[in-house]
Every structure is written in C-alpha cells, then in structure tokens.
Chain A
C-alpha cells in the first residue's frame, strides 16, 4: 500500500471526525439531539482508556507475558463493577462543585489550595508526556509498517517526521475543538462525540482482525484454544504478586488518569449514566480484549522471527495479504492513539492554564484591572498554548526516548505517576480529617520517588540519569539505587516504584493530616465533599412532614408580616377546600411556603427554618454555608444602604447650608428694603407735612411760604438723588455698566472734581494741597466714572472734616502698571470700629441732614472702582480721613453687551 494513500486515508478520517465533532457541537448549542449525551455515548467516550497501547500493545504484551495483559482490563472492570459507588461520589462532587480537572478537585477539597493544584498539574503533565509520546510512537510505527512492507528499509528519521506531523495535526484538531469556547463546566460535546465514534472504529477494527484470525486463519474457537495451549511459554504462568500489583495499578489509573477524569467526571452530565457504564464499559473492555490472545498466538506462529509483536494487529493482515483489513486495523490504532492524545492534552491544558498560567498571570497583572472580555481571551489563548506545549513535550519525549521501549512499559510508567494522586483523592472523598499539608506532603514525596525510581530511568541509562547512578545509587549510596530503594531488590522496577512511592505517599499523607490542623475552609470543603450524599439534592422535596400548621403560622407571620402570612395560609387552605387559616401540611404547601419565605430571607434560610419546624431534615453544613452566604449578601446590601443614607445626610447638609445662605440673603434683602423704605419715607414725610401746611394755612407770611416751598423742593431733590443712586448701584453691582474708556490726563480729572465739589458747603475755606507734576499722567479709563469717585471723596471731606482749618492733600503715585491716588484730610478721621462699615450701603455715620444723602456714596465708589479694575480703601493712621484710590494705568476694554446708559454723567451732583 502506498504511503500517500495511507496519508490520504488518515486525513480523510480526521476530516470525518471533524465533521462529526462540528455537527455535535452545533446540535448541542441548539439543544437538539439529546442522544448525543446519552449513556451510550458516555460509555463509549470512556473507551479513551483504550489507547494505542491497548490496541497494539496488548497483543505484544500477550506475546511476551501471556495473560498478564488482562490485568490492564481487570483493574478498570473491578472499579466500574465493584466501586461504582466511589465513581458516583466523584461524579456528583465533580458536578456540584463544577470541578474542571483532578487537580481542581484536590485543590478545591483542601481549602482551594493553589499549591496542591500546581503539584497535581505538574505530576499529571510529567506522567502524561510519556503517554502522549507513546501514542505518537505507535502511529509512527504503524505508518512505517505499511511503508516498509514493499521492502523499503524504515528510517528512524522517517518515523520522527511522521511523529512530528501527527503531533502537529492533533494539536490543530484539539485546539479547534477543545478551545472553541469556554464553558463553565469544561464540557466539550463535539470532542466527546468524536471520541465515541473512534471508540466504535477501534472496537470494530480489533474484532474484525480477531474474527479473521479465529475463523479464517485458524479453523474456529476450538482450534484457536488448542493453539494457545500449544504456545505454553514459561511466562504464561500467573505471578500472583505482580498480578495484584498491576490490577491495583490499572484500577488506580482509571480513577486518576487526567483523561479518564475528564471523560468520567468533567464531561458527565448525569449520575445515572454511570449505572449504564458500570456494565457497558466492562463489556467494552471484554470485547476489545477478547481476541488479543488469539491474535498474539497466530502472530507468533505465522510471523517471521524478529517481527515486533506490538504490531501483530497490523502486520498479520498485511502478511496474509489482507490489505483492506490491515487498513481498518490501522484506522483502529489511529483512532485509539488520536482519541487519547486529544482528551489527554485537553485535560492537561485545562490544568496548566487554570492552576499555573492564569494564577501567575493574575498575580503579575494584579495592579491592572482586566475586564472579563480580556480574561476570556486570555484563558483561551493560554489553553491553546498549553495544548501546543503538551504535545510538543510529548514529541520531545518521543525523540529523546528514541521510541525503543516496548509500548506497554511506557504506559505503565505513566500509570504509576498519576497513581500518586490517589491517596489525596481518596482522602478528599472519604476522610474529613485529611488536610492540605498532608496532601501536599504525600503528593510531593510520592511524585519525587516516582520521578527518581521510574520516570528518569525509563529513558534508558545515561539519557536522563547516568548508568553510574542506576547501578550504584545516588552519591554511591547503594540504598538509593533507583531500582532497589532502601535495599528492596526482589521486586521488578515497576512494582518496586509503585510500592515505595504509594506506601510513602500514603504514610506521609496520613501523618501530615493527623499532625496538622485543617483550616476552616478545608473543614467546610471536607464536610461538603465527604458528605455529598447526605444533603438534599438540587430538587428538594418535603416528605412525611409531621408539623402542624399552628407551628408554621407564627414563623411565617414573623417572616412575611402578620397580614401577608395569614393571607398566604388562608389562600392555601382555600386551595385545599378548607376554611380558616390552617391548611393541611402537604409537601406542596411546604414547597409553596418555602418559595414565599425565600423571597424575604433567602432560599437557604427559608429551607433551614422550615426544616427545623417540620423536623424532617437536619440542617446540614451546606445549608448553614448557604445561610451564611445569604447573610453576607444582606450585610453587603445593608452597607450599600448605609452608604446611600450617608450620601443623603450629606445632601441634606448641603441643602441646609444652601437654605441658610438663602435665609441670610433674604434677611439682607428685608433689611435693605426696610432701609430704602426709611430713606424714601423720610423726605416724603417732610414734603407731605409742608404741602398740607401750605394747603390749609391762609395767614402765612410770604417768607414762611418761601421757606416751606424750599424745604419741599430740597426734599424732592433728595428723593430723586436717592432713586438715582439706587439705580446706579444696581447697574454697577450687576456689572452691566457700559464704560466710556478713553485716554485722559489725570490732572484734568482732579481739577474737574475739585471744582465740582466746591458747591458743597461752599462757605467753608477748604485748602487743597497738590503736587501737580506726578498728576500729569495719561491714563486710559472711564473719566466720568473716575471723576464721580473723586468728587464723592472730596465732597465727603468738605462735609465731615472737623478741623478748624480744613485742608486736603492729594498724592499721586505710580506703581508699575497701577496708579495710586491718596486723599488725606486733617480732620479726626473715621473711628476704627466704623472703618469697616463705611463702604456698606446706607452706612451713614452722622445724621442725614448733614450728610444730605442716603449713605450710598462710598458703596457706589467701591462698585465703580471694581468696574474700573481698581479699588478704593480707607487707609488708617494718616492723621485724618484717608482714602486711597488705585486703578490700572490702562484699563483693558472687556467685551460686553452694549447697555443703555443708566444714570450716567451725574458726576456734578454727586454728594
């Protein structure tokens, strides 16, 4: 048969699997095709146990060691038939705790210990690598068998190249189907279905070869039995010790192998499938092992001396010219190898990514916040990378080991490796006292012993471990010889390693657990795992309730509130056709009550409370844990409420402050209105009083009439001025004033202000002391407004300066871009306690007649100076009243909406 045709067949077969997996995935997503997840498919997927080692190697094993190959099938058979209770427990725990791998289960049980997860993962990768290498080797070997048949000499390099392409192809297939998406339960419908198809192919292939051998080469069952007897080699005698060891080993392997854990526990969707598998899987094993011995015997009879018995399944049909049968057989072996590699690399990649890479990544990136989208992509990438890595490791092992070992030996090395997880696993399921420290200790010691006494030597002398050490022990210590540890020389290497590693592993595990105290979370997890069947399942129902409605009503009322509780009970009683509040306590009623109460207190608490009252169930640790987590949620919720109420308090405080401010403003407004009222009514009082006097007095002298008329006139002017000032102030305060900014000489302004203020108390001789040079400065400002300020100050001085010889100094100074104009008189000045008040509105210090105004002058001055980009201040300690006006030399024109000039150009009549 041509090599190319063989390759083409393989590719076609893989494409077929691809379609099967793809279709299964699609139907699973659409929720169709329930049969895909039937007990039959589950059982067939378990056949991933039967790898190329079983397919090809069992015959070789039988040819070398007789019936001993049966031990590899007896172990799993015993487990599935006799220990299905253990499997059921594993499966239930796996599903309820969403376990994703054996490493995950052990880590979760021992207080979610990441250390244990890492140890188990490393162990499984180390053990899985030779096993994957074994599959690559078998495929490569089977290829060369076909190709070498026409007489070509097989080259080692050819095998390596074939193994490489097989590894690459399987990497692609596994990535394509195992990491298409992330499932919380790590279930892979497509892969499982493809595995089931492969299970059928390999079974049919082996049976076909078997039938051919028994009925077409030999002449029937009796003939074949006779030929078996004729081949009675010394090895065929049963060695009870070795048998026991190997049966135990394979029994352990079916539980601990990562790929078996994946299909048995992780991919399981219903415990009931185990019931089918407990007879169907042993049956499968029986069928696949049925023809091993006949094929081996016929092979030994017919094949030339030196033919590899591991390849009898393939070479025998070829030798007899049955190319079609050989091809079927080849596909069977190919199926066995690929299914193992796919599931094993998937399971190992899950462990590597979940327990090593992702935790490491998270620790490194702890500072950054990754959103879930990133996380998902990260995990998928890590998975893909891990799968590639694991297959690469398998390929490297294959190259290093040279593919020289008999297939079966490599498989057993892996078995002993994964068996190290057994003590921790059994402790997890059955011993509540088992602790993390014990598990870590046992696992480490077991793994080290396996590594030293079996794994490293398995490469052969001088590859990983020197022949020197193999012969004389580490550092020349004979009790450290890998194959004869502690002087035990009577066992063969495999059993020797199994014995020591498992013995010391178990001892360390037990001692470590006894001597260390488990942490609270370990104790809780321990109780949850060990007593998984003691708790009510996900569908809780009430059986044989013994309570009276009288007992339940008070509790329900307390939880639901009196009226709602009574209403519920009455409604339930009505449903049962009874009147009153007390329905019969039926399971349906209790379920309804539980549902109702869980709305108030949470499902777990409701269940626990009803359990206590009804007395049918004991509250389990799980229930208490659920209650605790509900309580935690309530606490979380209440702290959120607290935060909200704090926020409300803050808002309330802000509101209070704002209200306070408003009230102050309102008070100020009231005071202001009251002031204005007073200022308006006062002149009006005089006006009204004198008008009335003049209206009804006939005997008034002309002088009197003129005097009263003048009063009325003056008061009217006062009234008008007040209104003008108010309007002016309002415009200035709101910044709505339009300034007339232009260049002007300061000296001219002062001249103008002095002459304008002369009208105030014109009879007084008021000397003004000026220094005319500094005044000669060009400024850019609103000259009218500035003059208004100057006039106000000068008028005030003329009115209030109490010196007998009143005088005023005007001092002009330039400071950088600012100009200061000081007005200092020689009076007694303004008392210290009043200085802060003078710029306030209506702050008249003397009586109103003398002031002749409402006390708005300086308030207006301040507003004007603010508008001119400067200020006006009272300067104390100058020997008299002293005002300083400061302003910029050049006032920048600021853009402003044009305002109709209100009360402008009144500089002349300011007070």
Chain B
C-alpha cells in the first residue's frame, strides 16, 4: 500500500504543486485547506507524513502541531512545516513545539520530496 501524505495548505496553487510532485514520487496525497477539520481526521486516520502550512486562516499551523504533539496517537508523526514568513522566531517556535522538519517557501521540489522520504525512512 502506498504511503500517505496529508497536506494542510490554504494556497490552492501550492497544494496542487505539492500533490503533483509527491504523487509523481509514488505517494498518496490528500490535500485540505481547513485545518480544524483536518485535525479531527488526523486522529482517526493518521497519515505517514503531514505537510503543514504555518499561516492558516483561523487555526494556525502552530495550533495544529501543538494538538498533535499533545495526543499519544499522533505524538511521533513526522511533520514538515512550511512557511512563507521566513522569520527565525517562527523556526524556533516550531522546533520548540516538536516539528520534524522546517522549510521556508519558496522551496525546491526535490527538497520536499527528499524530506518526506527521509522522515519516513524510505
């Protein structure tokens, strides 16, 4: 069975790009812009990797990460956080909250693919 990646991203063009490159690499990719709804789904059907945008309307990437790390079922889930703000303070905050990888937009496609592979040990 294919490994599953969930992408939480409110910019449709960006999530479409991620879906394209990861699908091409053999992943099953789910995409959503609604962070609140996604958190519920994560508990019941956890993906192998989560790609998380930091700047989400309403419920931010930090909030989602915090919720995940507080839950035993998703505590160890590999999370790649993407941000367009690119401030050092955000990276520190993300690491404090237990992010697995942190990447600044715009990214190189190959990097994203490599990071996802690395995090899942494939």
| Chain A residues with a Cβ under 8 A of chain B | 674, 677-682, 684-690, 692-693, 697, 711, 714-715, 846-849
4 shortest interchain CB distances as A-B pairs: A689-B17, A681-B84, A686-B13, A685-B105
Residues of A close to B20: CB separation below 8 A: 693
A848 to B104 CA separation, bound complex (whole angstroms): 19
A684 to B106 CA separation, bound complex (whole angstroms): 6
A693 & B84 in contact (Cβ 8 Å cutoff)? no
Q: Output the least CB separation between A247 and chain B (Å).
A: 108
B108 & A682 in contact (Cβ 8 Å cutoff)? no
Q: Output the least CB separation between B15 and chain A (Å).
A: 10
B106 & A674 in contact (Cβ 8 Å cutoff)? no
B3 interfacial contact with A, CB 8 Å? no
Interface pairs (10), CB distance under 8 Å? A677-B86, A682-B11, A685-B107, A686-B11, A689-B21, A689-B109, A693-B17, A693-B109, A697-B24, A849-B13
Cβ < 8 Å to A, chain B residues 69-98: 84-87
A681 to B104 CA separation, bound complex (whole angstroms): 9
Interface string of B12-42 (1 = CB under 8 A from A): 1110111011001000000001000000000
A899 to B88 CA separation, bound complex (whole angstroms): 39
B48 interfacial contact with A, CB 8 Å? no
Q: Output the least CB separation between A815 and chain B (Å).
A: 39
Residues of B close to A678: CB separation below 8 A: 55, 84-85
Residues of B close to A682: CB separation below 8 A: 11, 14, 84, 105
Residues of B close to A689: CB separation below 8 A: 14, 17-18, 21, 106-107, 109
Of B13, B17, B55, B85, most buried by chain A (CB within 10 Å of CB) is B13
Given contacts A693-B21, A711-B16, could you give 13 more A-B pairs where the C-beta distance is less than 8 Å?
A677-B86, A678-B84, A678-B85, A681-B85, A681-B105, A687-B106, A689-B17, A689-B18, A689-B106, A692-B110, A693-B17, A714-B13, A847-B33
Closest chain B residue, CB of each to CB of A675 = B85
Number of A-B residue pairs with CB-CB distance less than 8 Å in the complex they form: 68
Q: Output the least CB separation between A526 and chain B (Å).
A: 80
B63 interfacial contact with A, CB 8 Å? no
A690 to B20 CA separation, bound complex (whole angstroms): 9
Residues of B close to A690: CB separation below 8 A: 13, 17
Residues of B close to A685: CB separation below 8 A: 11, 14, 17, 84, 105-107
Q: Output the least CB separation between A833 and chain B (Å).
A: 14
A692 & B109 in contact (Cβ 8 Å cutoff)? yes
B21 & A674 in contact (Cβ 8 Å cutoff)? no
A684 to B107 CA separation, bound complex (whole angstroms): 9
Q: Output the least CB separation between B19 and chain A (Å).
A: 11
A714 to B12 CA separation, bound complex (whole angstroms): 13
Q: Output the least CB separation between B53 and chain A (Å).
A: 10
Q: Output the least CB separation between B27 and chain A (Å).
A: 15
A849 & B107 in contact (Cβ 8 Å cutoff)? no
Closest chain B residue, CB of each to CB of A670 = B87
- Tell me whether A715 and B13 are in contact in the complex, defined as CB-CB below 8 angstroms, given that A685-B107, A692-B109, A693-B20 are known contacts: yes
- Tell me whether A847 and B57 are in contact in the complex, defined as CB-CB below 8 angstroms, given that A689-B18, A715-B13 are known contacts: yes
Residues of A close to B17: CB separation below 8 A: 685-686, 689-690, 693
A678 to B13 CA separation, bound complex (whole angstroms): 15
- Tell me whether A692 and B11 are in contact in the complex, defined as CB-CB below 8 angstroms, given that A677-B85, A677-B86, A681-B86 are known contacts: no
Q: Output the least CB separation between B81 and chain A (Å).
A: 14
Residues of B close to A686: CB separation below 8 A: 11, 13-14, 17
Residues of A close to B108: CB separation below 8 A: 688, 692
- Tell me whether A684 and B12 are in contact in the complex, defined as CB-CB below 8 angstroms, given that A690-B17, A693-B20 are known contacts: no
Interface string of B39-74 (1 = CB under 8 A from A): 000000000000000010100000000000000000
- Tell me whether A849 and B84 are in contact in the complex, defined as CB-CB below 8 angstroms, given that A678-B55, A681-B105 are known contacts: no
A681 to B107 CA separation, bound complex (whole angstroms): 10
Q: Output the least CB separation between A668 and chain B (Å).
A: 15
A689 to B109 CA separation, bound complex (whole angstroms): 6
Residues of A close to B105: CB separation below 8 A: 681-682, 684-685
B33 & A681 in contact (Cβ 8 Å cutoff)? no
Q: Output the least CB separation between B20 and chain A (Å).
A: 6
Residues of A close to B106: CB separation below 8 A: 681, 684-685, 687-689
Of A689, A848, A849, most buried by chain B (CB within 10 Å of CB) is A689
B86 & A849 in contact (Cβ 8 Å cutoff)? no
Residues of A close to B84: CB separation below 8 A: 677-682, 685
